[in-house]
Amino acid sequence: MEEASIADVATEAINLNQIGPMLLRQANRADLEDDPDFYLNKDVFKQEIQGQIPEDFWDEFDPLEIRSMGQLQQKRQEILDFMERQNKLMSMGTVTGITASVAAPSSTLLPLA
């Protein structure tokens, strides 16, 4: 594997922890508006989350906060994107990846292990 430069590691660490891009993606999306007919029940959870998202992240799917299918799908995609960026950062080397992710600005989207 090719050695990652300091700039590559820093970029991935910052991307891992930024919520700004997520907020930009959510702007002006009608599917993210609250749906009074939507409720995140066990069937919806099994279909949309279980088997796709590790259990460490399941607390991110609060039925009182997720109020539409669009919001659920957005949250799922945010977590999948986070996991992909985290894996990419860790592929640069465990010590390097952990150090960079700790040094970068924090995100609230981290599993509580």
* Other Cβ atoms within 10 Å of 104 Cβ, number: 19
Please report, for residues 14, 19, 50, 93, the alpha-carbon distance to residue 47 in angstroms, rounded to integers and kept in the order given: 32, 26, 7, 34
Per-residue pLDDT of the chain (113 residues; tens, 9 = 90+): 456 666 666 665 555 555 555 555 555 678 888 999 999 999 999 999 999 999 999 999 999 999 999 999 999 999 999 899 888 888 877 555 455 555 555 444 545 44
Structure tokens at 102: 């700790």
- Sequence ranges of the domains in the chain: 6-103
